[in-house]
Structures are given as C-alpha cells and as structure tokens.
Structure 1
Amino acid sequence: MFSDFPLWWDGLSQIAKIYWMIAFPSTLFFLIQMVMTFIGGDVDHDMDHDVDAQIDADHGMGFQFITIKNMIAFLTLFAWSGLASIEGGFSLTITIIVSTISGLVMMVIMASLFYYISKITQSGTLDYDNAIGETGDVYLTIPSKKSGMGKVQITVQGHLRTLNAMTEDIEDIKTGAIVEVDEIISESVLLVHRAR
C-alpha cells in the first residue's frame, strides 16, 4: 500500500500536493479537536483569563470569528473542497475560489455555533444574587474606586465561576486576595470588598 505512495505523489499536480499537505495535518487536528470536545478535554473557556480586563469587560463571549478551532475547520474544509474541485476537473482559479468560500462558510458556521452555545450556557439558571455575601479569590487585580474591572473566582450555586468584579475600596485589590460580594452591579459584574 505505502510502496505505491511515491508513484501516487509524483503523479499529482503542484496545487494538488499543496492541498494534500494542508488536508493531512488539518484533518488530524480537526479529529483530535472533536475527540477532545466529546470526551471533555475542551478547555477554550479558560483562555480568556489572560486577556486585559478592559478588553474583557464586555458581557458574554461575543461572536468570535478567528479562533484556533475556526482556523482548523477552515483549513480542513478548504483542503478537502479544493481536492474535490481538482478531482472534478475545475480550473485552478475556480478551485481556489470554491475552497476559500467553503472554508469561510465553515468558519461562519463554527463561530455561530459556539456563539449560540455560549449564549445558552450563559443565560441558564445562574442567579447572580446567590453570590451576595459569598467570598472568593481575586483572579485579576480589581482597580480601586470603581475605576476599572477585575475578575474574581467564586462559587455560585455549587459551581466555581470566574466573574467580572469592581470595588469601592480606596486601594486596588491584588490577585490572590480574598473578597466578599456586596451587591450585583449588572447581570455579571459583582461589587466586592476586601474580606478582613
């Protein structure tokens, strides 16, 4: 089987070789990504913790078009639709157009899917009022006098959450400090003070 590989490879056009070189690794990564998603190894939701609080201050995940998952999906569909177009006898221009459009459509589908899934999970039965009076750890420094937003990790309704937080304290509350929730400023922003 593998002894015929050099003959098969040499018989391919240059563009077909390029598409195959994209198809093999992207398909492998796509399959690994899918297996990890289904067995619970998907940890994309933890990736936003390193983002500056000013950028991350909006509510919810938003529509994320360019992500690793979407790029893998783009490359996978780009390569396979390009190979199908070559096999169908299309010209180089049409092949590139078809494969690019196919990849972009896949990116839009993936981005939309994850956007709506995040909306479903975010709008579940979590009642932020249950966080009032609870204590948690500061994850990202909370600027003083409500001058900016930080993040706290707090258990709400039996689940550890990382939520946006502000404080009226006169000093910044540094990462690792223990805080107590005073009130809910908006749907997902907590007003906290340093626990004594």
Structure 2
Amino acid sequence: MFDWWESLSTLQRIFGLVAVPSTIVMILQTILVVVGFGDVDADVDGDVSDASLSDSSDGLALVSVRGIVAFFAIGGWTGIVMAHFQIHTFFVVLISVIAGFLALLFVAYMLKLTTKLQSKGNIEYKNAVGKFAKVYITIPADGRLGKVNLTLQGRFAECDAVTQDGETLKTGQTVVVNGLIDSNTLIVSLPEANNENQEK
C-alpha cells in the first residue's frame, strides 16, 4: 500500500486524498444498506434533496449524500488513472469531473427509481372502499378504533377502522368498507346495514 502511494505523482496523490476516503464512505453506506440501516442514509438524502438542485421535469434530485460521495469517489479514481497517462492537467481534471458527474447522475436516477418503487408498494387505503373485511379487534359502537383484516392491492393488510352505525362489530364478523375518516382509518359496517343505507 505504501509502495503504491509512493509511486504516485503529486497530482495523483491529490486525487487519491479525495478518492480513498470517499470510497471508504461508499463501502460503509453499502454495508449499512445490506444490514438494514439504509433508511438512515435515505433520510439524510431526503433532507438534502429538499434544497437540492433538481430537474423540474422529472424531479431528479442531483444533490444527495450518496451522490456527492459517488462524485468524489469515481472522479478521484478517474483522476488517478488519467494522470498515469501524463496528459495535460486540465484534461485530467476535466475528465475526472465529467466521470464524477456521470456517477452523480447515475446515483440520482437510482434513488429516484427506488423512490418510485417504494411509492408503488405503499397501500392506498382509498382502494379498500367497497371491499369486504374481517373484524380483527372489536370495533366499538361509540366511534372508538378497532381493527380489520383484508386483502388490499394483492397483499394482506391490517387497518384501523370505526363504525358509524351505532352497533358494535365483534371479532370475526364480516364487514364492508364504506369510506375513510382520514388517510388510513376505514369506515365499516355490516353488509346488511350497508344495503339498507343504499336502499334509503
């Protein structure tokens, strides 16, 4: 390792001082994602992205923690390699910046793609309206919360629920979803009661 460092030119060492720490951070980020702590870094990315340079047409956030790390890591290693060919310093720096920017774009695109996939996987509770569900935790008649189970968007879901019919819904009863009182709390009733309301 020391022999390799000693063999580098001054310009290569400058790039190395950028590339090596950035690469270590990139490796640590990858390890954190693999072991399940990637959300922490994702939260930081989200905070930075709020004030980031973005493409208004597709919402591509160019500035994020991961993107900046990739910029310096890829740009730094590119600089080390290009300086080996003893081309003019200006072109070494230019090519390194271009390579780093391409890496930044790639990371921004991957983060955007990941966000889209996550949003598609989120449950839209409005899609539950009209579906049947099973009462899991008794839903009191006084408007307090209970819980129901149902299949929503192809997967099993457990949802908060209330009833407005003045009748307690007990565990195991089949109910129908009539609407929502907020973004994730369902309004349910017995199917017979729902039919009576529709007839009225």
- Check whether TM > 0.5: yes
Task: Give the structure 2 partner of residue 172 of structure 1.
Answer: none
Tell whether 2:95 aligns with 1:98: yes
Q: Partner of 2:74: helix, strand, or coil?
A: helix
Query: Offset at 1:130?
Result: 7.0
TM-score (norm 1): 0.56
TM-score (norm 2): 0.55
Q: Partner of 2:34: helix, strand, or coil?
A: helix
Task: Give the structure 1 partner of residue 30 of structure 2.
Answer: 34
Runs of 4+ in 1 over 3 A off after TM superposition: 44-51, 130-135
Instruction: With a CA cutoff of 8 Å and minimum separation of 6, indicate the structure with the bigger relative contact order.
Output: 1
When residues 68 and 128 of structure 1 are mapped into structure 2, their CA distance, relative to the original with a 3 A threshold, is same
Q: Partner of 2:181: helix, strand, or coil?
A: strand
C-alpha deviations, 1:126-157, integer Å up to 9, x for none? 1232799997xxxxxxxxxxxxxxxxxxxxx4
Q: How does 1:51-62 map to 2 (within 5 A)?
A: 62=59
User: Could you say what the CA RMSD is over the residues aligned between the two structures, in angstroms?
Assistant: 3.7
Query: Offset at 1:183?
Result: 4.0
Task: Give the structure 1 partner of residue 85 of structure 2.
Answer: 88
Quote the Cα distance in structure 2 between the aligned partners of 1:97 and 1:120: 35
Query: Offset at 1:37?
Result: 1.2
Task: Give the structure 2 partner of residue 182 of structure 1.
Answer: 181
Tell whether 2:118 aligns with 1:121: yes
Q: How does 1:1-196 map to 2 (within 5 A)?
A: 2=2, 4=3, 8-9=5-6, 12-43=8-39, 44-47=41-44, 62-124=59-121, 126-129=123-126, 157=157, 182-184=181-183
Percentage of identical aligned residues = 25
Q: Partner of 2:38: helix, strand, or coil?
A: coil
